[in-house]
Structure 1
C-alpha cells in the first residue's frame, strides 16, 4: 500500500511538473508577443520621427525619435532574452537586434548631414523589410512552440490519467486481496474461539459496548479476588515461620496489585461510558489528604496542613489524589508530598523526587496504556483516569518535571468558603448504635463484610441471601434500614425486591442499594429508582456515611 501511495505521488508530481513547465512557456510566449508588438510600434515611430526631423529639423521630432529608439532597443533586448527556446528563433532575434541598430545608425546619419535622400530611404526601406521578416519568423517560432507545449501538455495529461487508472486498479486489487486475507483470518479466529471473537467484534463496533463489557467483567472478577484477599489474611494468622510469612506477604502484595489494576479498569469503564455524574459539594482538603495518608501507614506521604476548602466531588477528588500519590510513591523514589496553594483557585500539588519526566512526555503520560520508558510496571491507566476525572470535574491538571528533577502534578480546583471541620465532618456513629439493619446479598463474602462493618459500629444486623430468606427474616425482625445488593441470583432485581420487602414492614425501612454493575443502563435504573446507591468496592467510611445520611434524611 505504501508503494502504491508513493507511486501515485510520483505520478501526480510528474504531471504537476509538466503543467508548470507548460504554464511558464505560455507566460514567456505571451511576453515575447508583447515585446514584438512593442518593438514594431517603436521602430515604426522612430523611422517616422527621424524622417520628420530630417525634413524640418524640429526638436520635438528629435525627442520623439530618441524615445522611440530607446523603446525599440528595450523591446528588441526582451525579444532576444525570450527567444532562447529555439535555435532559429534565437537567430531571428539576434538579426532583429542587429538590424535595429543599423537602422538607427542610418537614421542618425541622415539627421546629422544632408545625405542623399534617395539612397538613405532605400537603405531604411531595406532594413525595415528585414525587420518585418525577422519579426514574422519570431511569430512563427511562437506558434511552433505553442503547438509543442499543447502537445506536451496533452501527452502529460494522458500519461497521468493512464498511470492514475493503473494505480487505481492496482489499489482495488490490493484492497480486495487484503479484504480476502482479513476475512479468512477472522473466519479462522472465529472458529477457534467463537465467544471471544463475538465479544471483541462488539467492542470494536462501539466504544460503549466495549466499556459495558469491561464493567461487567470487572464486577464478576472482583469477587474471587476479594475472597482471595480474605483467605490470605486468615492464613497469615495461622502460620508461624518467617519464610511462610514472607511468602504470604508477597502473595498479598501481588493480590493487591491485581485488585488495583481491576479497580483502574473499572474506573476507566465508568468514565468512558459517561455514567459518572459528579456530586459537587464543599470539601475540606485536609480531610481528603488525611484519607489518602491513611492508606500509607509507613509515613511515605508528607502533607502540608491546610484549612482550605474546594467545591468538587469528594469521591472523585479522592480517586485523583490516590492515583497521583500512588504514581509518586511507585515511580518517584518511594515518597510523595502533598501541598496546596491558593492562586485564585486551589492548586493541589503532589510532588516526588523521582527520575523526572521528559518534556516531550508531559502530554503523552495522560494517554491510556502509556508507560514512560524504563517504567514497566502497572497498566498505564492511573494518570489517564486522573486526566479524565479532572476533565469531568473541570479541574485543569498539569505536570512540571524534567529528567533528574522529580515531578510535580498540579490539579487546580475551585476554592470554596472555608468552613469549620465540624460543619462537614462525618455523620455521628451514635445514630447507628442499636439500628436494626437487614443486609440482602447473594454473595456470602460481601454479605458478611457489610454486616460486620455495621456490627462494628453497634448496629443490630440480620442477613439474607435472597428474597425468600429476607421475607422469612421479616416475620420476626422489623428493620429500620435495608442494605440491598442490586444483582441477586444473577439478575438486576434488587430494586424490585427492596420495594416488595418495604411494603411488608410498617413503617417502611430506609433502603440503600449496593452494586458492582456500572453499565450506563444500570446507572440509569439506579437513578430512576429514587434509592441512594453505592458502587462497589465500598469501604467502611463510605458505608457508615451513607447509612447516617439516609437516617438523617
Structure 2
C-alpha cells in the first residue's frame, strides 16, 4: 500500500522537479556562467530520466517477488542524487550571486521541500534522502558568510526544516495508522464473511441432517400407521381395540412432531404461497375461544378472548396457525392467572395481542426463543412440552405474510406477543368462512367423493414394509394394486397387467438415486399418457424436493400419513382421473 501511494505521487513530483530545474536554469543564466548552468541542467535531466525509467520498469514487474523493495532502494538513491544536485550547486553559487538570488535559492528549496512532503511522506527514508542533501549544503554555505541577513536565512531555513520533518512524521504516522486500521477492517470483514459462510454451511448441513434423519425415521412410523389401519378393520376384542387405539394415538402424536419439522422445511423452501384476502377477525377468535377454553380451564386459567369487528387482510389459514401457536404457547407456559387475547387499531393496522401472566422471558432470551429447538425451562427435553419449533414457525410465517411481531415481557409478571396485521382492503370482499369451516367443508367434499372400486393403482416404494402395508391397505379398500421397488421393476410387472392405471402412488427417494418423479415420468411415457394422476408419499422433507414437486404440480404427502388422510387423497386423485 505504501509503495502504491509513492508510485501514484512520484510522476507529479518528478515533473515538478524538472520544471523547477528549467525555470532555475533560465534565471541563473544572468549571474552564473552558461557552461555551469547547462551542465547542471543536463545532469539533473539525466538523473530524472533514470528515475523515470526505474519507475516504468517497476510498474511492469511489480508483481514479481522483491520488485517493490528493489524499486524502493532505487527511489531513495534517486532522491539522494536529486537532493545533492540541488543542494551542492546552490551552496557553491551563494558565494558569487547577489543577495536577491540567494533569496531566490531559498524560495526554490522551500518549494522543493514542500513537494517532497506530499510525494514521499509514506516512506520516511525517501524524505530524508531528499531533504537533508538539499538543505544542508546551502545553509552551511550561508552560515560561513557572516551577515545579519544570512544568519536570518539560516535560522528561518532550519526552523522550516525542523517543522517540515515534524509534520512529515505526523503525516506518516497518521496514514500508517489509517492503513493499519484499513487492513484490520479488511481482516475483520474477511473473518465475518468466513464465519457467515461457516454458519450458512452449518445451517445447510443441519437442514440436510434433519431431512435425512426425518426420512429414515418416518419410514417405519409410516409402515406402522398403515398396518394399524389394516388392524383397525379386523375384529378385535374390547381390550385389543383399546390397545390399537392407543397405539394409533401414539403414532399420530409422533406424526405431529414430524409435521413441526416439515413446516420449517416448507417455509424455508418457499413453497408456501399466501392467499391474501379480507378476513373477519372475529371468526378466527371465536374458533380459538371455543378450542382453547377447555384446555385453559383444565390448568385453572381464565382465557379471555375479546370480540372484534375488525377486518384484516391476510391468509386465513396461516394467520389462524400463527394465533393458535401464540395462544397455545401462552397457555402452556402459564401456571396460574389468565391469558388475554384482544385487538387494537394502530396507525391504520390491526394489532392482535396475546397476553399471559406466566413467568416472563428474560431480556437475554428475547431473540433466542425464536431459534429452532430453543426452549426455556425444559432442560430435560420433555416431549410433552413440544419441540421448541412453534415460535420459529411463527416468525417465519409472519415474515412470509409481511406482518410484524413484537415481544414484551417482564420476568415474574408475564409476556405479550403483539402481531400487527394489515387492515382490510376496500376492494376485496371479506372471506365468508373461517379457515376451519373452509377446511372442514373441503374434507366433507373430499369424503363425499366415491370413485368406483376395483381401480388399478401402481405403488412404488423401495421400503418393503411400506410397500406391503400400502398395497394391503389399498386392496382392503377394494382396489387392484401392483407394487414394485422402482420404476424399472414396475415396468416389468405391468407388462402382463391389462388396462391402464388410474393412479400412481410413489415414494420420492428410491434406490440407485432414482426419484419418484422420475419413476412417474417413466410410467407416463410407458402408457403414453401424462394425464394419469400421481401422488407422492415421502419421508423426504428437503426444501429442494418440495420445490421440485411443487413445480410439477404433484401432491406430496409426508410420512407418516394418517389412514383417513391417505384414503381421502387417494379417492380425490382417482376422482380427478375420472373427471373429463
Q: Using structure 2 for the length normalisation, give the TM-score.
A: 0.46
Which one scores higher on RCO, CA 8 angstroms, separation ≥ 6?
2
In our comparison, the structure showing a higher alpha carbon Rg is 1
Q: Using structure 1 for the length normalisation, give the TM-score.
A: 0.48
